[in-house]
Structure 1
């Protein structure tokens, strides 16, 4: 029997991100995964600016090739890949196809999941993570003191008992941990089962010069979806659950291409189009993350894997604070409070969009579509770890509309004279940070042993984006930002005993 502070079950994108983020906060842990490496089918492709911001905070953003800031994702309807464009589908109706480059120091990344995962795995191991691959979970029980997992090595069959203070379940949409805990799910449920074929066809990449990356194939008796991973690999997604032999797959690929190009079939896939959100993200010492918490189809808003990566970014610093004795256990309750609401928001937005609304059941009530910038940069976190994010506020709004609202991501601004090398976001990511242009607040922060930034000295805001305007506070005030870059609290006034108590309660997670 051995003991670890945190056990991560599942070593795909979300589990690997959790491992990286926990090591970023100095938390020892063990990651187990029944697989020995990445899946042959790359699955996810697009990673958002916010996801890259998390990796930037961990110091590895430069290992991930980021998208051209001038590029935009385009989906077109065609009869064949090389045929004329029949129509172009908007990302979000009525919204610009690309987000404002001024809102983030990152541009997102168009990298295949099977190429991103080795980067994350290597970075986590370099930071001191422990991983046991080819090890599957057999059982998991918990009590008030610990969680106890029985695991088995798939190479030799050897079993081991591992105890942990906390467990992060990243074991996918068919999570055995979630099911074992009896956690139900809500949402539109199962809608369809679809199949795909992954193939290698470098010659097809020539069509990308026309500016589109996603292609809806519309022919008489043949509807499919074709897209690229940008490295000579393409995936053709069928509009049905029909099993096809090799000859039928080759015929379908040539039909979609519309040209006799050489290609090689790599593998096939089968996936469920469904929408399910776990009703509880936490059960005792176990936290659900990624598809175990929210099963969502791929969207051009990046609501799938990116939502799971956001989950563990939110959770990792909270686990660190509790394990390191800096906060009470009840801080961990805020994980469900904040992330479940966002998971549900993304469910509603996914199935309110035209490409998925047509598959939703009649009982589903579509909601007004929110701006792309609001969904990426302006989701609201409501919990006891935020002061001032009341129920009267919308679930999401653009950064301009929020202007430093507690519960939202701290705004990105390049430092004056930094030539695009230091962002306000680079101030955050490890600890609570208090920003103020008022030295009295800085002195209070120092007494409370909170990291402080004296605006105008430690960070100089550009003249066209002054601190008071960006964070919507008066010159005498201050704002407190959490380790995950979310604004926890702000004040317009001079520091006093009430403010000191508010900051102290937030950091210690006391009611």
Structure 2
């Protein structure tokens, strides 16, 4: 007989990159949770290398993005086809191709700063350790060597049976579950959720090793397609002395054979090699047909398994999943919002995963793996993919189906459903980003004093507190029209921004009854009880 189950708000299954990110975000929103991870810690063979500026923005909101080293502003992830590192170097392989003159701009557009952050060039295990330390410092309950063996959900919650490393079992019950247990997710499979997409691409084997090869990084290239008659492989660095050689085959090699292959890829026999570990994994592209089953949510590879790519569409997409969900769980568990708010998670995040799936196969790295080539999918601008994928859901007012799936922030100009634009402002003598204004609250940005009065009236009667930011008064602007241009409103308009930094609604001008209009917009977007 089991003891009565422990109680928590959210059960997070999976304690690697996405599960630890969930721990950080849930801690930020003060949501009670428990993380269950069947392994003892991070994998010895990290998969992801490098994290995008948008991911850094999410951690910036939690106040610890300074723990991640920024890449330079001029950094570009470059790949070259080579005979070997020391041998012939052939052509550079671009990530985003412009296949026809029609697609190529006649003049280069002016460089716009879309983010207060640059990406971070670190390995997944390094990232996980930083997240683990941050979550632990916030009091997170992280349980390693705790394996979920049974899941049962009912109308009020989810109960799991957990087996500890010593064989003892216990029950844990939460109001909701977040499944971040990888591409072979037992939670997803138990729910019977199918997946769609390109499917299996190939089985690959890899070897992680340490060697002094930094001299070959001096040209700014860090990824190498090894092209020899008897060796087809991919070589890249983790920028910390570790390298990984990925074989495009499913052949098991012993230590001597692995070292011989590494020497062949490098093109030198006089280098010392320290083998760390090997890996075997299936490269797939599959997206779950649903990201929610009642009180259980899929995130990360459990929701979308995407092959390694230079757009960072795998790990970074998973981190954004749990950022999208964390504030919604807080709102529902606190009784502020109706449970229907959680249904917008699938509405908003699944289209992002589907678009990223499709974009991988119209770019050069994977174009050869496209099963049915067609001209229907155009290559979307990298900045649009990173900062400008549009959310459409019942939590967004004014994001119609006629709008494109992604645009650059300057093209969206404050469109509801887009991530709020970044520009620098002055507050209390400090220069900050507009993205720093939102903290963990709903925020109303405006210039006209009438909106301040409307927000104050709502705060006196609504369960949610709106943060009011009078642009030009509460924060200083570099130019008087910076705000209105970026957010696509007049000086009498206003923009309502969600806790995750996405624009839920805007009023281009001042309506006759701003209080009533704002009340209706917030009640709808936040699913207020």
The residue number in structure 2 matching 1:205 is: 214
In structure 2, the partner of 1:145 is: 156
TM superposition shift of 1:72: 1.7
- Structure 1 segment 321-336 matched on structure 2, within 5 A: 321-336=331-346
CA 1:77 to 1:465, structure 2 compared with 1: closer, same or farther past 3 Å?
A: farther
Q: Secondary structure at the match of 2:246?
A: strand
Query: How far apart are residue 429 of structure 1 and its match?
Result: 3.6
Please give the secondary structure, in 1, of the residue aligned with 2:265: helix
Q: Deviations over 1:74-105 (max 9, x none)?
A: 11111111234211111201389999561101
Determine if contact 1:348/1:366 at 8 Å carries over to the other structure: no
8 A Cα contact 2:426 2:432, kept in partner: no
Q: What residue is the counterpart of 1:176 in the other structure?
A: 186
Map 1:375-394 onto structure 2 (within 5 A).
375-394=385-404
Secondary structure at the aligned position of 1:354 is classed as: coil
1:468 aligned partner: 484
Q: Which of 219, 224, 233 is 1:224 aligned to?
A: 233
1:451 corresponds to which residue? 467
Equivalents in 2 of 1:416, 1:24: separation in Å? 25
Using the TM superposition, name which of 495-504 and 80-89 deviates more. 495-504
Structure 1, unmatched stretches of 5+, are none
Q: Distance in 2 between matches of 1:478 and 1:80?
A: 57
Q: Which moved more, 1:344-353 or 1:470-479?
A: 344-353
In the alignment, the residues of structure 2 paired with residue 364 and residue 183 of structure 1 have an alpha-carbon distance, to the nearest angstrom, of: 28
Q: Tell me whether 1:425 sits opposite 2:443 in the alignment.
A: no
Output one character per residue of 1:415-472: Cα deviation in whole Å (capped at 9) or x when no partner. Answer: 1589984000001140100000011001111211211101111122221861110101
Q: 1:77 aligns with which of 78, 81, 84?
A: 81
Distance 1:81 1:332 in 2: 50
Correspondence 1:282-361 to 2 at 5 A: 282-361=292-371
Whether contact under 8 Å (1:413, 1:465) holds in the other structure is no
Residue 363 of structure 1, CA deviation:
7.3
Report the 3-state secondary structure (helix = DSSP H, G, I; strand = E; otherwise coil) of the residue aligned with 1:280: coil
Q: Tell me which residue corresponds to 2:285.
A: 275
Change (3 A) 1:264 1:111: same
Aligned to 1:397, the other structure's residue is in SS state coil
Shift of 1:327: 0.6
Mapped pair 1:214 → 2:262: no
Q: TM-score, normalised by structure 2?
A: 0.93
Asked if the contact 1:432–1:507 (Cα under 8 Å) also holds between the matched residues in 2, the reply is no
Partner of 1:437: 447
Asked if structure 2 preserves the Cα contact closer than 8 Å seen for 1:9 and 1:170, the reply is yes
The separation in 1 between residues aligned to 2:141 and 2:493, in whole angstroms, is 43
CA contact (8 A) 1:327 1:507 kept: no
Q: Does 1:111 align with 2:122?
A: yes
Using the alignment, how far apart are the partners of 1:418 and 1:90 within structure 2? Answer: 44
Secondary structure of 1:415's aligned partner: strand
Distance 2:391 2:439 in 1: 17
Return closer, same or farther for 1:406/1:228 CA change in 2, 3 Å cut-off: same
**Alignment check: 8 A CA contact 2:21 2:322 kept:** yes
Q: CA RMSD in A?
A: 2.0
Gaps of 5+ in 2: 99-103, 460-465
Residue 211 of structure 1 and its aligned partner are, at CA, apart by 1.1
Partner Cα separation in structure 2 for residue 73 and residue 506 of structure 1: 42
Classify the secondary structure of the residue corresponding to 2:365: helix
Superposition deviation, residue 508 in structure 1: 3.7
The alpha carbon displacement at 1:355 in A equals 1.5
Q: Secondary structure, in 3 states, of the residue corresponding to 2:151?
A: strand
Evaluate the alpha carbon distance shift between residue 153 and residue 162 of structure 1 in structure 2; reply closer, same or farther with a 3 A threshold: same
Query: 2:45·2:279 contact (CA, 8 Å) conserved in 1?
Result: yes
Q: What is the deviation of 1:365? A: 7.0
Distance 1:112 1:374, change over 3 A: same
Deviates more, 1:20-29 or 1:100-109: 100-109
2:134 pairs with 1:134? no
The answer to whether the 8 A contact 1:448-1:504 is kept is no
* Partner Cα distance (2:367, 2:118) in 1: 28
